[in-house]
Chain A
Amino acid sequence: MKAFKYALAVAGFGLAVAPAVAHHSFAAEYDSTKPLKLTGAITRVEWSNPHVYFYIDVKDAETGRVANWAFEMGAPAVLQKRGWNRSTMQIGDVVTVEGTRAKDGGTHGNARNVVLANNGQKLGAGSSEGDAKQQ
């Protein structure tokens, strides 16, 4: 798994905003000591409650193997206040995600920020761990 080259967070992620509220314990599901920074193409978007999910194919730079990662974001109503709409991400779009890995060790994480490769826009993902304002 180390081949995925998780980016260690050593600085802030821009202007942080207070965390969105969630319907579950963040600490029980995600490991705040395991930050993620992954880039990949969107394979699926679930624009639904209680969380929006998106899935990206991430290629291991060393082995060439591709893994499909699932990322949780805030509820649609929360994301809309951060500049998202249901069409912001399209299948095939390349995005870079900063977030936190799930404790179960699977290819699952909580997104904090998403950078859209096609226009460079950085959007907060409504994480209950806190995210960044639109940039």
Chain B
Amino acid sequence: MRNNSNVWGGIFASLLVFSVAGLGQNQLPPVPAPLSGAPGAAPAGAPARGGGRAAAPKKPSTPTPRWPDGHPMLGPTPGKLGYWDSGFGGMTGKRAPNLPTNIETSEVPFMPWSKALYQERQKTQQRSDPHARCLAPGGPRQFHTPYGLMLYEIPEQKRIFVISGGGPRSWRIIYMDGRPHPSGNDLNPSYFGHSTGKWDGDTLVVDTVGFNEKFWFARAGFPHTDALHIIEHISRPDYNTLKYEATIDDPKAYTAPWSGGYTIPWVEGEDFEEYFCQDNNRDAEHLIGPQ
């Protein structure tokens, strides 16, 4: 019996290898596992990754940690270590860890030019992705950049820092002091734009404008322009889960705003390690795409 199990396990492993190896235009499978064995890798109540009777039962997550005033704490609790195991999820499609409310790519309200550019990026296997050249991941891309994500709220400073462990190890500030966005020539186009936030119940709502056009806001390669306006809804429905959703509003690239998001699991008891994409990046010269 045990030998039979091993045989079937080997066949399954082989199929997994080849199914992964056979991925075409997107280098990532739709349902990869987290980098670490993070507890609560799936949101409470969600189907276990891989389904199947062999899946171990998930431990119920502890409740959302909160600040003394009652609003959710998005980072480590006092005296603890941890980070969000980012790198997975996408803006379209409903398969976990994506949100069940996501639309399909075919439903994205592209303009003709943005649809053509998106299709070109798929056809060329995303070889021109700026992120592969270690440029900063603006918008939702910051929340699915591999190698960890931290959100640190500093109430005394009325700001939240969003820190990427991967990519060029960049960080972004969400201003929580009620300030408006700069306007006109005072709004310099940038990778992360200008972000202001406020709490709406248990959800952090972040409004960002002022993006440049030098990055892809999602791994999939959806185009955008300098008119991009993103509204993010970020919450922590339980201790081990970050729920992220972004509304893409770019009237130069899409005929209507559209939204998508995913959940991100918590890694307890660890910090992420130093990672600078630009340290020894040898990939760019080899990214030649389809032959």
- Which A positions have Cβ atoms within 8 angstroms of B? 9, 11-29, 31-32, 46, 48-51, 53, 70, 72, 75-78, 81, 100, 102-104, 106, 108, 128-130
B273→A77 contact, CB < 8 A: yes
Determine which residue in B32, B281, B286 has the highest number of CB atoms from chain A within 10 A of its CB, and name it. B286
Do residues B9 and A15 form an inter-chain contact, with CB atoms below 8 A? yes
Q: Are B22 and A32 in contact (CB under 8 A)?
A: yes
Give Cα distance in the complex from A16 to B9, angstroms. 10
Q: Is the CB of A25 within 8 A of B129?
A: yes
Shortest beta-carbon distance from A111 to chain B in Å? 14
Q: Judging by beta carbons under 8 Å apart, are B146 and A21 in contact? A: yes
Of B92-100, B119-127, B149-157, the one touching chain A:
B119-127
Q: Scoring B residues 1 to 38 as 1 if CB is less than 8 Å from chain A, else 0, what string do you get? A: 00000000111011111101111111111001101100
Selected A-B contacts with CB under 8 Å, 18 pairs: A12-B13, A14-B10, A20-B35, A23-B131, A24-B129, A24-B132, A25-B26, A26-B23, A32-B21, A32-B23, A46-B280, A49-B277, A50-B283, A72-B282, A75-B275, A77-B272, A77-B275, A104-B288
- Chain B window 249-291, contacts with chain A (Cβ cutoff 8 Å), 1 for yes, 0 for no: 0000000000000000000000011111101111100111101
Q: Is B166 an interface residue (CB 8 A)?
A: yes
List, in ascending order, chain B residues with CB within 8 A of A77's CB.
147, 272-273, 275
Task: Tell me whether B11 and A104 are in contact (CB under 8 A).
Answer: no
Question: Are A103 and B291 in contact, CB atoms less than 8 angstroms apart?
Answer: yes
Q: For A51, give its contact among B17, B21, B87, B280 (CB under 8 Å).
A: B280
Closest-by-CB residue of B relative to A18 is B33
- In the assembly, what is the distance between CA of A27 and CA of B290, in Å? 8
B147 touches A103 (CB 8 A): no
Is B108 engaged at the interface, CB distance under 8 Å to the other chain? no
In the complex with contacts A18-B29, A21-B28, A51-B286 CB distance below 8 A: no
**Which residues in B have their C-beta under 8 angstroms from that of A128?**
27-28
Contact A25 B125 (CB under 8 A): yes
Interfacial chain A residues near B274, Cβ < 8 Å: 49
Residues of chain B contacted by A23 (CB below 8 angstroms) = 131-132, 134, 145-146, 166-167, 277, 281, 283
User: Which one of B14, B23, B146, B291 contacts A22 once the chains associate, using CB atoms below 8 Å?
Assistant: B146
- List chain A residues, Cβ under 8 A from B84: none
Closest to A52 in B: B280
Q: Is the CB of A13 within 8 A of B279?
A: no
The answer to whether the Cβ of B244 comes within 8 Å of any Cβ in the partner chain is no
A72 to chain B, nearest CB (A): 7
**Interface flag for B88 (CB, 8 Å):** yes
Contact status B277-A12, CB under 8 Å: no
How far, in angstroms, from A56 to B131 measured CA to CA in the complex? 29
Cα distance A50–B283 when bound, in Å? 9
Q: Is the CB of B17 within 8 A of A130?
A: yes
